[in-house]
Amino acid sequence: MSQISKAVLAYSGGLDTSVILKWLQDTYRCEVVTFTADLGQGEELEAARPKALKLGIAADNIYIEDLREEFVRDFVFPMFRANTVYEGEYLLGTSIARPLIAKRMIEVANLTGADAVAHGATGKGNDQVRFELGAYALRPDIRIIAPWREWDLLSREKLLAYAEEHGIPVEMKHRQGGSPYSMDANLLHISYEGRHLEDPSAEAEESMWRWTVSPEKAPDAAEYVDLEFERGDLVAIDSQRLPADELLARLNQLGGKHGIGRIDLVENRYVGMKSRGCYETPGGTILLPAHRAIESITLDREVAHLKDDLMPRYASLIYNGYWWSPERLALQKLIDHTQLAVNGWVRVKLYKGNVIVVGRDSATDSLFDSTIATFEDDAGAYDQKDAAGFIKLNALRMRIAARLAVRGR
């Protein structure tokens, strides 16, 4: 094992990362810097500080940072400009958080003179790929430590025993079993995997969901919400302009109230296996159709179709961890260029798990011309006789092929 002098650890203060912290000290004999990111997971992250101090981390080696606005502004919103959905359902709530964490870990490593970064992702999941691809893209010489690929502490019982042996404080909820699910939360979503969900034929328990009421228990009255966009990004809700993270938090509140944003899917992980997961993404589930609605009147047809063609590739790049790759950056330039005229407002109706677009307009960039589209007298704005030649020319290749087929009989 080659020498590592200092490692930056993605640290939550929970059982796994607390064990990793001590394991790094004992196994690599290195100085450890802890990094904890607030991405809106709804937990009191300052509690990680005294835990790190108790495990011997110097006060100036503990980094706890509020990244909520940067997360939504620079990662979530650019992704939604592309109307990104993975495998038709997943809004990539976990995937899009990883490149920001990787970026900031490398920045902390550079700041503190660390030569390695460490994470708690397992060898079975996607997150190990996302963290490490991001780290290598941003600092090619960085060393990576992934304890789950090295140690033999491969069960909760072994982790608890290690914590007991080394005097690592363990909260009572861990001793009593805690949540039956593996969960990940940030401002865009909360995910659930494991235990009961490992049987893909079993319905998720109602008690599992944390952000949303069931559609059956949602209000009986619909709620109308106006969303304002500038250059493809949400900037205001019901005429109230807010920072990006507060806008998404407000959408989460609205969506959760109306039972919006639950999905249950089996997805294809990058490492090769299929995995069943459940997700709550209330704000994103409102934002996606609203963004498509404002694009519907501001984007040229072929530009819109080109975006739809590229979206699955873009989604796979994010899911598989290639946010910092040259191809994703190139695609983002194109996507962002298409959004220059995506300005206006959309009205949605929220009702019992549904997001229904009921209106949209753009005062400056609408391509919708009612004088041409009308079913009434258009006063010569559109000459319907032109359609005959248009159709005949577009049918030419099929007419030629049909004649050849007739001759060949």
285 and 156 belong to one structural domain:
no
Helix axes 15-27, 156-165, angle to 10 degrees: 60
Q: Give me the half-sphere count of Cα atoms (radius 13 Å) on the Cβ side of residue 280.
A: 28
205 and 280 belong to one structural domain:
yes
pLDDT digits (tens, 9 = 90+) for 261-285: 999 999 999 999 999 999 999 999 9
Q: Give a yes or no: residue 207 inside a domain.
A: yes
Q: Residue 193 pairs with which residues in a beta bridge?
A: 182
Chosen domain end from 178, 207, 225: 178
290 and 148 belong to one structural domain:
no
155 and 29 belong to one structural domain:
yes
Q: Give a yes or no: residue 110 inside a domain.
A: yes
pLDDT score of 177 more than 60: no
Residues 89/265, Cβ–Cβ less than 8 Å: yes
Task: Choose the weakest-confidence range: 59-68, 81-90, 163-172, 244-253.
Answer: 163-172
Q: What is the pLDDT of residue 360?
A: 98
62 and 165 belong to one structural domain:
yes
Reported confidence tier of residue 181, pLDDT bands at 50, 70, 90: confident
What is the number of domains present in the chain? 3
- 8-state DSSP, 220: S
CA 108, CA 32: separation in Å to the nearest integer?
Answer: 12
Q: Which single residue is written with the structure tokens 């960039």? A: 365
Instruction: Look up the domain containing 391 and give its range.
Output: 381-407
Q: For the chain, give the mean pLDDT.
A: 94
Q: Residue 63 pairs with which residues in a beta bridge?
A: 35
158 and 195 belong to one structural domain:
no
CA 122, CA 135: separation in Å to the nearest integer?
Answer: 17
48 and 191 belong to one structural domain:
no
C-alpha distances (whole Å) from 243 to each of 178, 288, 339 are: 34, 18, 19
pLDDT score of 174 more than 80: no
pLDDT digits (tens, 9 = 90+) for 132-152: 999 999 999 999 999 999 999
Mean pLDDT over 76-80 rounds to 98
Element (H, E) at 346: strand 344-351
The helix/strand/coil state of 372 is helix
19 and 155 belong to one structural domain:
yes
Q: Give a yes or no: residue 314 inside a domain.
A: no
Mean pLDDT over 287-296 rounds to 98
Strand order from edge to edge, sheet including 223-230: 240-241, 233-237, 223-230, 344-351, 354-361
119 and 13 belong to one structural domain:
yes
Q: Which residues are catalytic?
A: 16, 98, 127, 182
190 and 163 belong to one structural domain:
no
pLDDT score of 12 more than 60: yes
pLDDT score of 1 more than 90: no
Q: Give a yes or no: residue 369 inside a domain.
A: no
108 and 14 belong to one structural domain:
yes
Instruction: Report the b/e string of 211-248 with b at 16+ CB within 10 A.
Output: bbbeeeebeeeeeebebbbeebbbbebeeeeeebbbbb
Mean pLDDT over 112-119 rounds to 98
- CA gyration radius, the chain: 25
Q: Give me the half-sphere count of Cα atoms (radius 13 Å) on the Cβ side of residue 319.
A: 21
Q: Give a yes or no: residue 281 inside a domain.
A: yes
Task: Choose the weakest-confidence range: 155-164, 178-187, 259-268.
Answer: 178-187
170 and 246 belong to one structural domain:
no
pLDDT digits (tens, 9 = 90+) for 218-267: 999 999 999 999 999 999 999 999 999 999 999 999 999 999 999 999 99
Q: Give a yes or no: residue 311 inside a domain.
A: no
